[in-house]
Amino acid sequence: MESFKSIPIIDIGAIDETNRVNNNTLVHQIRRAYSKIGFAYIVNHSIDQCLVENLFQKSYEFHSLPYEAKMKIELNELHRGFIPINTSTDRNSKFADVKKPNQSESFIMMREANEFDPAVQKGDYLAGPNLWPLGIDGFRETLTSYFDAMTKLCQKICNVIAISLGTDPETFASEFDPPTTFLRLLRYPPRPPNITSNIYGSAPHSDFGCITLLAQDETGGLQVMNRKGIWIDSPYIKDSFVMNFGDMLQRWSNGLFISTPHRVINTSGYERYSCPFFYEPNINAKVSPLSSCITSGNPLKYESIVYGEFLRSELKKGYERHSKNN
């Protein structure tokens, strides 16, 4: 299988307002990029750039708060809130020998669900309210507007993915009703000079969900591992998102689409800010390879799993690491 030396750019303007795809070229580009690379930049995505800029402004304001103020909304068991620096070490990384904590801090929100929400009343894993900081005007409103816009965009992208896998565009609709969604506001301090050991802003990993849409600043630092094990830079491109697929789409596609390892090393000498949005299946969704992806040349590779059970296992390990390190 061929390797790659750069990340392609895909124009998704062919996704129309009715959630349908009217351009076979787009389907072909998705199929090619995510069967060989697992990453691409997407442009003409319909998200207002002013909204993206406002999101970054709120991220700057949040991370400028005193440490004590951020710790008042420290990460809870619903996986919402603030994760301080030096509290998360990815010791289970399959792609590197990681011994030191990630050099980043973040704020995490998920879908807002009050006590009357059906998911809360059923007792679904992670269903509940978000934690919000005090003292930042418009913080909740800005993040909620961005969160809702990205959710709608990912719904459209799922239709393209389904078509590219040879199945009906509505195939995934029930599996994301409602979706499991995360928005993170990340700050990476500059890596200290003359470091000889492996210290990462984000240690090498693959995402365990479906779609990640990353808004990043101009600092740089994101790298994607190609088939030869070479780390390829994924620099800032104006008005784009970096889109990668995660482990659940690799499973759904029976390995036709790949979940590619990536990392962040901030050697710029400046702070790096990024805002990844994660679009993942409903907690109760069963994830197993689509029949259209199982052939004599590509026999069944994965068993069926319940996404919530898998997610609980992954986040529990991360939350325990956070608690022990804190």
For the stretch 22-56, pLDDT in tens is 678 999 999 999 999 999 999 999 999 999 999 99
Count each helix (H run) and each strand (E run) in the chain, helices first. 7, 14
Instruction: For residues 205-231, give the mean pLDDT.
Output: 96
Percent of the chain predicted with pLDDT > 70: 90
Tokens describing residue 174: 């029930």
Distance CA 86, CA 159 (A): 39
* Cβ–Cβ < 8 Å for 261, 206: yes
DSSP summary character for residue 146: H
Question: Is pLDDT at 322 greater than 50 in this prediction?
Answer: no
Structure confidence at residue 242 (pLDDT)? 98
Residue with tokens 């984000």: 202
Q: State the average pLDDT over residues 210-222.
A: 98
Angle, alpha carbons 64-68-73 (nearest 5°): 90
**Tokens at residue 110, please?**
């998920």
The average confidence (pLDDT) of the chain is 91
Tokens 């630092």 identify what position?
221
pTM: 0.94
Q: Is 80 exceeded by the pLDDT of residue 2?
A: no
Q: What is the pLDDT of residues 78-120, one digit of tens each?
A: 999 999 998 876 655 565 566 677 899 999 999 999 999 999 9
The pLDDT score that the predictor gives to residue 14 is 85
pLDDT on residue 22: 63
Answer yes or no: is pLDDT of 256 > 50.
yes
Tell me, what's the pLDDT at 177? 95
- Residue 181, token pair as written in the block: 């969604």
Query: Is residue 198 over pLDDT 80?
Result: no
Alpha carbon of residue 93 to chain centroid:
17
Amino acid at residue number 317: K
Tokens of 251: 């499973």
Query: How would you list the strands of the sheet with 202-205, edge to edge?
Result: 202-205, 262-264, 222-225, 231-233
Question: Which pLDDT score is estimated for 91?
Answer: 53
DSSP secondary structure of 241-253? EEEEE-HHHHHHT
pLDDT of the residue at 1: 46
User: Where does the pLDDT of residue 277 fall: very low under 50, low under 70, confident under 90, or very high at 90 and above?
Assistant: very high
Domains and their CATH numbers in the chain: 9-325 (2.60.120.330)
Q: Cβ–Cβ contacts within 10 Å for residue 67, how many?
A: 10
Rg (CA), the chain: 19
Dihedral angle computed from the Cα positions of residues 292, 213, 107 and 176, in that order, rounded to the nearest 10 degrees:
-30
Band the pLDDT of 20: cuts 50, 70, 90.
low
- Cis check for the bond before 178: say yes or no (omega within 30 of 0): yes
Q: What is the pLDDT of residues 121-171, one digit of tens each?
A: 999 999 999 999 999 999 999 999 999 999 999 999 999 999 999 999 999
Helical H segments across the chain, by residue range = 24-36, 49-63, 67-71, 118-122, 139-164, 247-252, 307-325
| Spatial separation of the C-alpha atoms in residues 185 and 108, rounded to whole Å | 7
What's the residue count for the chain?
Answer: 326
Angle, vertex CA 154, rays to CA 275 and CA 186, nearest 5 = 10
Residue 325 has pLDDT above 80, yes or no: no
CB 96 within 8 A of CB 25: no
CA distance 85 to 92: 18
